[in-house]
């Protein structure tokens, strides 16, 4: 759908309570996906939306959803998302939009937290349920929620849900919904598995496709460093020392996210850690510390790659390349947002060369095949080796495997804003962090324990 002239929110015929809420939220002009999707959704049509991170997808489905619920006082809606953080974030937007429509309540059903408060909120008959698939299935099995009279279904980040293995849960949920309903599906990519799912429960949806407006490779300086696997940790320290501002470091597995995060803590960095194996309280605290400026570095798996509201990221470091090439776009899209510039650096080991070429072709389809001899290490690696403790070695002693539990989590001292400059090497100036995180089993994501292959990456 191509729009020659973008309309204003005031031109959409929105309910006065929504218009007033948008004004309170400082929303004035809709983004391209919002201008394209909102009028179509208000008409009651199904939508198949293709939009990248940073295009305003949440408001694109939340605004018409609230409008339809106001117009139909008995109607209810279900919004499904792949991660707990996204579900919480979306529900907050819905709460903001319904600030002046107090008869519309919402509830967030996510894993990693007790179900008891959720039972209490469900007894208040919320009209909007925002959920992750696994936890919703838990409630359905307990009979604490019914989807029999759901009028609207929203699937956001649908491709990500399939990547995380939620296809069986999605099919089970759809089977419990009425056949007559409005469907709004948004996804950054449309793999064959998603197309098959779409054909199962959507008929002739309106296709809306826009490009990212807030994420532009032109505003993101991208750099690649070829390193050996055993050099990556020290190279990361070098990159941190030479950069000003906040960093988001992407690591592939939960275990290595903990190891890298605690290695940086031991090296004097202010670090937050987030991955699917941490409890919801730990994940929320880590994100809040990073947002508030209490930590300079966020070490994360791809759980933070899409949609999360971390607006001030100045540098993205791909410590490990993503397993899915398209996730590279989402990762670097965490910086260079809202017209700002940003930088992204990717560590490429000899074994990663093939994957990196796929990413290069994705970013630049016209790129010619690269000669193997041209793939050289970046000269910035030829620095003086760091004198800090080698990765995996004990502090104050010879190299060797690191023993003991993980550190990290919260700050030991009181809240204190960090200096956004390079780290200081003096031991006297080293920031003190709390001890071991609370001992918890791997968190049940959305109420369902991931499969072995998924659980190490979430």
| Tens-place pLDDT, residues 7-55 | 789 889 999 999 999 999 999 899 889 999 999 999 999 999 987 666 7
* Start-to-end CA span in the chain (Å): 34
User: How confident is the model over 289-311, as a mean pLDDT?
Assistant: 81
Q: For the chain, which residues make up each domain, given as ranges? A: 9-209, 217-455
User: How confident is the model over 186-194, as a mean pLDDT?
Assistant: 85
The residues, any chain, with a CB within 8 Å of residue 384's CB and separated by 6 or more, are: none
**The pair of three-digit structure tokens given for residue 41, joined into one six-digit string:** 């959704």
pLDDT on residue 257: 94
Residues 399 and 234 sit within 8 Å (Cβ to Cβ): no
**Residues 113, 116: Cα–Cα separation, whole Å:** 9
With 60 as the cut, is the pLDDT of residue 445 above it? Answer: no
Fold (CATH) for 9-209: Rossmann fold (3.40.50)
With 90 as the cut, is the pLDDT of residue 302 above it? Answer: no
Tell me, what DSSP letter sits at residue 445?
B
pLDDT on residue 54: 65
Q: What is the CA radius of gyration of the chain?
A: 23
pLDDT on residue 152: 97
pLDDT on residue 230: 93
Band the pLDDT of 6: cuts 50, 70, 90. low
**The pair of three-digit structure tokens given for residue 282, joined into one six-digit string:** 């730990």
**258 compared with 434, residue with greater pLDDT:** 258
Residue ranges in 304-377 assigned as alpha helix (H): 327-332, 353-363
153 forms beta bridges with 78, 183
pLDDT on residue 312: 78
User: How confident is the model over 50-74, as a mean pLDDT?
Assistant: 89
The helix (run of H) or strand (run of E) holding residue 261 is helix 254-266
**The pair of three-digit structure tokens given for residue 112, joined into one six-digit string:** 């990693």
pLDDT on residue 344: 93
pLDDT on residue 339: 63
pLDDT on residue 431: 35
**Residues 32, 30: Cα–Cα separation, whole Å:** 7
Using the structure block, give the residue that is written with the tokens 């008959």.
Answer: 125
Residue 326: burial class (beta carbons within 10 Å; 0-12, 13-18, 19+): middle
The helix (run of H) or strand (run of E) holding residue 131 is strand 128-131
pLDDT on residue 420: 45
**Residues 182, 45: Cα–Cα separation, whole Å:** 7
**2 compared with 296, residue with greater pLDDT:** 296
Superfamily of domain 217-455: P-loop containing nucleotide triphosphate hydrolases (3.40.50.300)
Q: How far is CA 214 from CA 32, 57, 83, 136, 156, in A?
A: 11, 12, 22, 32, 19
With 80 as the cut, is the pLDDT of residue 239 above it? Answer: yes
pLDDT on residue 250: 95
With 80 as the cut, is the pLDDT of residue 181 above it? Answer: yes
Angle at 63 between CA 60 and CA 66, to 5 degrees: 140
Residues 103 and 15 sit within 8 Å (Cβ to Cβ): no
Q: Is residue 176 helix, strand or coil? A: coil
Residues 198 and 48 sit within 8 Å (Cβ to Cβ): yes
Q: How far is CA 225 from CA 196, 197, 232, 253, 278, in A?
A: 39, 39, 10, 20, 30
Q: Do domains 9-209 and 217-455 have the same CATH topology?
A: yes
pLDDT on residue 164: 82
Percent with pLDDT over 70 in the chain: 74
With 60 as the cut, is the pLDDT of residue 308 above it? Answer: yes
Lowest mean pLDDT among 139-148, 182-191, 270-279, 326-335: 326-335
For all residues of the chain together, what is the average pLDDT? Answer: 79
Angle at 151 between CA 122 and CA 206, to 5 degrees: 135
Band the pLDDT of 3: cuts 50, 70, 90. very low
């Amino acid at each position: 759908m191509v729009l020659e002239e973008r309309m204003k929110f005031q031109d959409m015929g929105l309910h006065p309570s929504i218009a007033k809420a948008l004004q309170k939220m400082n929303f004035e002009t809709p983004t391209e996906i919002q201008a394209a999707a909102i009028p179509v959704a208000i008409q009651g049509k199904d939508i198949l939306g293709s939009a990248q991170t940073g295009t305003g997808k949440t408001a694109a489905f939340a605004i018409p959803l609230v409008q339809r619920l106001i117009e139909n006082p008995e109607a209810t809606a279900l919004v499904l998302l792949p991660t707990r953080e996204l579900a919480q974030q979306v529900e907050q937007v819905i709460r903001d939009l319904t600030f002046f429509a107090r008869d519309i309540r919402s509830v967030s059903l996510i894993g990693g937290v007790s179900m008891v408060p959720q039972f209490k909120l469900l007894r208040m008959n919320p009209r909007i349920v925002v959920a992750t698939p696994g936890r919703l299935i838990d409630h359905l099995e307990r009979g604490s929620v019914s989807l029999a009279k759901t009028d609207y279904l929203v699937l956001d980040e649908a491709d990500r849900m399939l990547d995380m293995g939620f296809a069986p849960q999605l099919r089970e949920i759809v089977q419990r919904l009425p056949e007559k309903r409005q469907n709004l599906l948004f996804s950054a990519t449309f793999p064959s598995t998603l197309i098959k799912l779409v054909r199962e429960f959507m008929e002739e949806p309106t296709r809306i496709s826009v490009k990212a407006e807030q994420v532009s490779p032109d505003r993101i300086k991208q750099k690649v460093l070829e390193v050996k696997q055993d050099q990556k940790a020290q190279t990361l320290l070098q990159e941190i020392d030479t950069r000003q501002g906040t960093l988001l470091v992407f690591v592939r597995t939960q275990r290595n996210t903990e190891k890298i995060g605690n290695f940086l803590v031991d090296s004097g960095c202010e670090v937050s850690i987030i991955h699917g194996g941490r409890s919801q309280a730990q994940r929320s605290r880590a994100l809040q510390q990073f947002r508030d400026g209490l930590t300079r570095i966020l070490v994360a798996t791809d759980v933070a790659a899409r949609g999360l509201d971390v607006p001030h990221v100045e540098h993205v470091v791909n410590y490990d390349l993503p397993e899915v090439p398209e996730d590279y776009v989402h990762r670097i899209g965490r910086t260079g947002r809202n017209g700002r510039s940003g930088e992204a650096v990717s560590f490429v080991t000899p074994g990663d060369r093939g994957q990196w070429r796929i990413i290069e072709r994705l970013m630049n389809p016209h790129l010619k095949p690269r000669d193997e001899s041209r793939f050289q290490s970046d000269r910035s690696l030829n620095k003086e080796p760091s004198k800090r403790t080698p990765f995996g070695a004990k502090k104050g002693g010879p190299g060797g495997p690191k023993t003991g539990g993980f550190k990290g989590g919260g700050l030991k001292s009181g809240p204190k804003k960090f200096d956004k400059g390079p780290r200081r090497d003096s031991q006297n100036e080293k920031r003190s962090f709390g001890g071991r995180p609370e001992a918890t089993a791997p968190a049940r994501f959305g109420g369902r324990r991931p499969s072995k292959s998924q659980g190490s990456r979430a």
